[in-house]
Every structure is written in C-alpha cells, then in structure tokens.
Structure 1
C-alpha cells in the first residue's frame, strides 16, 4: 500500500510566542511573505493559523480582512468567510483556502509550507 507523506519547508516567523502575540494581536491578521508566497497569519482565541493570503474567490488579500468568533477569516472584498480549521468557505460558494501548518516551538513560531508529496 502506498502512503503519501507530506514534506514541509519550515519558516521561523517569530522568535517566541510572546513576540508573535505582540506583532499579531488577538483577532488580527498579518501578511507574511515566505519563499515569495504571500501568507496570511491569523491570531484568534483558538491560536495562530496560516493560509494563503489570496482569497480563493477572486484573489484579494485576506490579510486585509478580519476574523470572527466562529474562527473564520473574512475577505474584505466580498465578505467570503473561510474556516481556519479546514479552509472551507462557509456557504460552499468557492474552493477551500489553502492552509499551512503552524508549530509553536521553544525556539519560536514556525509556518510549514507543504512541498510536493512523496510516496513510500
């Protein structure tokens, strides 16, 4: 049986969780550029989340939007709402947002960008 195994390129985006909280306050968004790719970093009551900054609907910057109590990021252009848990648009009107892994480590906060999958 073949199993796909994801590989990630990890990017240190903050030296500590404290620094991350200072730079991205609760319920706020920040644009990061990792490997030339715009990423939206969200901070909600559920923690930190990372997703592609381009709205799947028409490509507007999600980091210019807001978050809500449902743990969604809201695009400021047409108010499409994307779950930070699974990337789904709340009314299923467009494709999912691309989410990225976040790891809070002793040495800082890291975002993992998935690379091409390999089979083993």
Structure 2
C-alpha cells in the first residue's frame, strides 16, 4: 500500500469540500470520491457500482451515506454497503490526517499498473 497526500491539512480539505458535498481526486491513477459528512471525511471509489455515474456529483447525508445523483442509490461511507443491498458495496480507501496533511492509502498494484502502463 502507498500513502498519497491529498491536502495540506484537514481544515483545507473541509474548506474545499463543504459538509454534504464531495469531490473527485485522482491518486496513483485511481479516481476516488472524497465525501464530507458531519462525522468527517471519507474516501470511496468514485463510480457508482450500479450504473457508473460519478458519486462525487452526489450529496451526503447525516447518516454518513453518499447518494448517487443518477438513481439515488445510497451507500454507507463506513461499510460501503448500498442501503437496500441492490448492488455490490463500494470500494473504500483509508484516509489519515497527519501533521503534514491528509493522506489516502491506495493499493500498490494500482501504482505498479500505472508505472508499467507508462
């Protein structure tokens, strides 16, 4: 696994991503949705497993769910599970706030496949 810095601080991340919103970032070639709820920041795959719309275009709610903008599928950001079990769970990524910033952990195979594809 590799840690990639996304923001210089948690405050910066929360300024860029208001509560109930999310953004897409690319880390080691992996498109990741960073979502902000009242409980904090979460990182999940950006594409909805139902039909592939960008979850970063959706919103979050007080239940720590991200809501797909296309068909309103709701995914719990802690477990990745869709609230009604209609599709596979989201892939989740670990976020860590350190003295030097906010980092996301991505699998080495993602990094290696990007390196070998170049």
Question: Is the Cα contact below 8 Å between 1:73 and 1:81 reproduced in 2?
Answer: yes
| Runs of 4+ with >2 A deviation | none
Counterpart check, 1:9 vs 2:9: no
Larger Rg: 1
Counterpart check, 1:87 vs 2:91: no
Question: Alpha-carbon deviations, 1:1-33, whole Å to 9, x = none?
Answer: xxxxxxx21110001111111111112101101
Aligned pair partner of 1:62 in 55, 65, 68: 55
Q: Secondary structure at the match of 1:97?
A: coil
**Cα displacement (A) at 1:115:** 3.7
Question: Is the Cα contact below 8 Å between 1:100 and 1:114 reproduced in 2?
Answer: no
Equivalent position of 1:46 in the other structure? 39
Equivalent position of 2:23 in the other structure? 30
Equivalent position of 1:78 in the other structure? 71
Q: Considering fraction of residues, name the structure with more helix.
A: 2
Equivalent position of 1:5 in the other structure? none
RMSD: 1.0
Equivalent position of 1:105 in the other structure? 98
| Count of residue pairs brought into register by the alignment | 109
Q: Secondary structure at the match of 1:18?
A: helix
Q: TM-score, normalised by structure 1?
A: 0.87
Q: TM-score, normalised by structure 2?
A: 0.88
